Structure 1
Amino acid sequence: MNTQPHDKVLSELLAGSRLTPGRGLAELVARTGLRMGLTGTAVYVADLQQDTLQALPQSPAPEEPALGVDTSLGGLAYREERTQRSADGDTLWVPMIDGVERLGVMKATGHGFDPGLVDRCEALAAAAALLLVSKSTHSDVLIEAERRRTMTVQAELLWAFLPPRTIGTAQVTSSACLEPAYDIGGDAFDHSLIDKGLHLTLLDSMGHDLASGGASAAGLAACRATRRSGGSLADIVPEIDKILDQWFA
């Protein structure tokens, strides 16, 4: 098997990622996998409601079919956050995680996986997860893969304001979701790790339209602005009230 030193391969992956667009990430990961001795890779991300895993586009490889989170080996790796191996031993499904938030899985194929190659695949999946998150700030590739249908304008507005759905440390984990995911109205959340504490915010504006979505977005902005300026909970509440008074004036 023709392989290159692992540290050199990963360092060149990171260097090559700087000018790689989001839509080229899966191909970059695949090329890196070949240099590690794999025969192929595919990057899958979970949809917004975490029902399926959708492969990112990768030319010239054929399009990979979507996988059920509850009905596939890749889905098992995603659910349990643990690498899974196919029955023939030639395919690995490796979870891709950003901090404590599950993003998806990386499929790796090869001619047998010794413990060292498994470790290298897990390192590649970890690097791919970090790159995917960094690219998502200026590319729609992750967002498009997460969606299975069109999102309403008010839902688009709120999702753009929301933090990652899961955050955490060794001491605490916070996770949230919103339904109906593609048609949320005035519901919003925020969670942030502050020193040794966890700050949680839940907002529920009346209605299910753009006005209610805008009100929650304004309230969320007021909450964050006050908190990030050193304000306490007692300071945050009146600031939200003041902003909403202006919003509805």
Structure 2
Amino acid sequence: MTATDAWRRALADLLARAHRLPPDELPAGVNAALEPLGVTATIYLVDAEQRDLRPLPERDRPTPAPLPIDASLAGRAFTQIEMRAGQGPPPRLWVPIVDGTDRLGLLEVFPPPGTHLADEALRDGCRLISGLVGHLVSSKTPYGDVLHRARRSRPMEVSAELLWQLLPPLTFATPDTAVSALLEPCYAVGGDAFDYALDGDRIALAILDGVGHGLPAVLTTSVALAAMRAARRAGADLVGWAEAVDSAITGQWQDARFVTGVLAEFEVPTGMLRYVNAGHPAPLLLRHGRTVRALDGGRRLPLGLLGDRGEVGRTRLEPGDRLLLHTDGMTEARDAAGELFGLARLADLAERHIASGLPSAETLRRLSHAVAEHQDGPLRDDATLLLVEWSPEATARLVP
């Protein structure tokens, strides 16, 4: 049996075990499948704040300490979504774990003594196993609390617990378009949310900001998110999505609560973007690595405040363009002197990170952390980002 055949047998073994594998036994299942190869592995998952990589505990094995993303070789493997070799001792490979293109963590692989870390059969086998682990982490997470708990450094408030169950994965990509999002503070969210959905050659996009803070704001935003999805799935157009949210909010509450937001539809083959801006900060259009303008069309009243239908904004993107949507929590964060983070700073940092060739998910992670570092104390408002990249080169960077 060749080395390649042995890795494929390990993959088949893990897949066979996976059907009835409890979430808390995922590390043991992986190591049982790898045992005939003389290989052991540790699964690390990125924490909710995307600051540390946290190991999944395995019975009868010591649990390593979390690893800082910004100060470790493992962190570089995670941020760049590429395999890295660590000479040890003992020697190891850091292998990205993704589900599709959504970054979940790393697989730390210890090959048998004497194995060369550049061995192609070893590296190809690690990619196979880590790819299956990514799918298993996502599919097993809803079955219990252990995988949720492993990614948290502290308890999550009720509002955040509710909202995170409603949001799609942070990153999604097709061969030519990537969508990434990030929301902070992750343990105590207010009324921010994001959404996207692929339907044939069109991608629906949304970023929302419910008025107020805490659970009341999240409840309003949750209703808005559900109403928009229901209308979209029933075949309504862009204006129909907004009207469905209006009706859902006014039908449930009479206290003039509302949600600001940008709802958009992107036609991938043509680059046509149609959007409605309901009292929200205008999206930024980046071209050739520079911010060229804000999309200030499509204006109407915030969602939940009945009025005229407003208008639908339209613009045609060019191949390679980026679209950055954000909530006001990003630009209105203040430092100790009261200085706002500001739109110009946000645009400048986005340009720098995109020009450096970072994956879209990493660009947003760094932008979000820059806002948190600028803020004097904890964020007083949610800060949410949604980045769309119409670029095959950008989507390729999201694959290990």
TM-score between the two structures when normalised by the length of structure 2:
0.60
Query: Which residue is 1:43 aligned to?
Result: 43
SS in 2 for 1:161: coil
Query: Which residue is 2:150 aligned to?
Result: 145
Query: Which residue is 1:190 aligned to?
Result: 195
How big is the shift at 1:91?
0.5
Map 1:167-182 to 2 at 5 A.
167-182=172-187
Structure 1 distance, partners of 2:184, 2:59, is 34
Query: Which residue is 1:103 aligned to?
Result: 104
Structure 1 distance, partners of 2:246, 2:142, is 31
Map 1:21-32 to 2 at 5 A.
21-32=22-33
How big is the shift at 1:142?
2.3
Q: Is residue 237 of structure 1 aligned with residue 242 of structure 2?
A: yes
Letter in structure 2 aligned against 1:191: Y
How big is the shift at 1:35?
2.1
SS in 2 for 1:178: strand
How big is the shift at 1:8?
2.4
Structure 1 distance, partners of 2:193, 2:242, is 16
Query: Which residue is 1:10 aligned to?
Result: 11
Q: Given that residues 171 and 178 in structure 2 are in contact (C-alpha distance below 8 angstroms), is that contact kept between their aligned partners in structure 1?
A: yes
Map 1:71-110 to 2 at 5 A.
71-88=71-88, 90-110=91-111
Q: Is residue 199 of structure 1 aligned with residue 199 of structure 2?
A: no
Structure 2 gaps of 5+ residues are 255-400
Q: CA RMSD in A?
A: 1.6
Q: Given that residues 223 and 240 in structure 1 are in contact (C-alpha distance below 8 angstroms), is that contact kept between their aligned partners in structure 2?
A: yes
Letter in structure 1 aligned against 2:86: S
Query: Which residue is 1:222 aligned to?
Result: 227
How big is the shift at 1:36?
2.6
How big is the shift at 1:115?
1.5
Structure 2 distance, partners of 1:124, 1:177, is 27
Letter in structure 2 aligned against 1:170: P
Q: Given that residues 8 and 125 in structure 2 are in contact (C-alpha distance below 8 angstroms), is that contact kept between their aligned partners in structure 1?
A: no
Query: Which residue is 1:163 aligned to?
Result: 168
Q: Given that residues 91 and 107 in structure 1 are in contact (C-alpha distance below 8 angstroms), is that contact kept between their aligned partners in structure 2?
A: yes
How big is the shift at 1:92?
0.5
Query: Which residue is 1:127 aligned to?
Result: 132
Q: Which moved more, 1:5-14 or 1:52-61?
A: 5-14
Letter in structure 1 aligned against 2:142: T
How big is the shift at 1:193?
1.7
Rg larger for: 2
SS in 2 for 1:238: helix
Structure 2 distance, partners of 1:35, 1:141, is 27
Letter in structure 2 aligned against 1:180: P
Structure 2 distance, partners of 1:107, 1:93, is 5
SS in 2 for 1:136: helix
TM-score between the two structures when normalised by the length of structure 1:
0.94
SS in 1 for 2:183: coil
Q: Is residue 57 of structure 1 aligned with residue 62 of structure 2?
A: no
Structure 2 distance, partners of 1:131, 1:25, is 8
Identity %: 34
Query: Which one has a larger percent strand, Structure 1 or Structure 2?
Result: 2
SS in 2 for 1:244: helix
Letter in structure 1 aligned against 2:8: D
Q: Given that residues 215 and 247 in structure 1 are in contact (C-alpha distance below 8 angstroms), is that contact kept between their aligned partners in structure 2?
A: no
How big is the shift at 1:226?
1.0
Structure 2 distance, partners of 1:48, 1:108, is 23
Query: Which residue is 1:67 aligned to?
Result: 67
Q: Which moved more, 1:194-203 or 1:159-168?
A: 194-203
How big is the shift at 1:190?
0.6
Query: Which one has a larger percent helix, Structure 1 or Structure 2?
Result: 1
Q: How many residues align?
A: 247
Q: Given that residues 96 and 128 in structure 1 are in contact (C-alpha distance below 8 angstroms), is that contact kept between their aligned partners in structure 2?
A: yes
Structure 2 distance, partners of 1:6, 1:122, is 10
